[in-house]
Amino acid sequence: MGAIAGALERDAELMLRVREGDAASFTLLLERHRGPVIHFIFRMVQNHDIAEELAQEVFLRVYRSRASYEVTAKFTTWLFRIATHLALNWIRDGRNEKTQESLDGAQHDGVGRQVADTAPTVEQHLLREVRLREVRAAIDLLPAKQRAAVLMHKYQEMEYSQIAKVLSCSESAVKSLLFRAYETLRSRLAHMA
């Protein structure tokens, strides 16, 4: 926990340095958070190229807001609030043409890159891939806010309070979103149990 808390404090310190004009600190923040932001946005918009563009816009907004940055919440909460709003706006504005990537392109979300267990058989590997695709597809079918809450909770390991700040709602609303999302996922994925 100490290392995580230290990293979070360093993020705020780095952002305060960025506010003072330190470009190297911005580069460190970008390197540290670019991958998780792209992964999160990709899971929201289901298109790697759009995720890259939106992530670029996230960091552009972070940089543009540097002069007004105040340490009122965790840096990652602020960062993912920007990412979530951009992704939800992209979905809402109808720019989401549901352009699905090929199976080769699905490797961009990072899940497909996981190292398999010790020498799985071809059948085990294929079954695992099919299950991962089914889980991803089930998550992708959730309403946008539920999907965002699940992705932040399970994949970014954010606490309810952080998710509430990102989505601009109460913790109880987050719990309700997650409850409905997980119930839907349990129903859709019951055949896998």
Which is more confidently placed, 97 or 64? 64
Name the token pair of 29: 């923040």
What pLDDT sits at residue 157? 86
What is the widest separation between alpha-carbon atoms in the chain? 55
Residue 102 tokens, joined: 């090929």
Output the CATH code of domain 121-193.
1.10.10.10
Quote the pLDDT of residue 106.
43
pTM score: 0.66
Averaged pLDDT for residues 100-109: 41
Question: How does pLDDT run across 135-192, given as a tens digit for each residue?
Answer: 888 999 999 999 999 999 988 888 999 999 999 999 999 999 999 999 999 999 888 7
From first CA to last CA, the distance across the chain in angstroms is 33
Q: In the chain, what are the domain boundaries?
A: 1-98, 121-193
Strands of the chain (E only): list them: none
Query: CATH topology for 1-98?
Result: Rna Polymerase Sigma Factor; Chain: A (1.10.1740)
Rounded to whole angstroms, the Cα distance separating 165 from 75 reads 12
Other Cβ atoms within 10 Å of 98 Cβ, number: 8
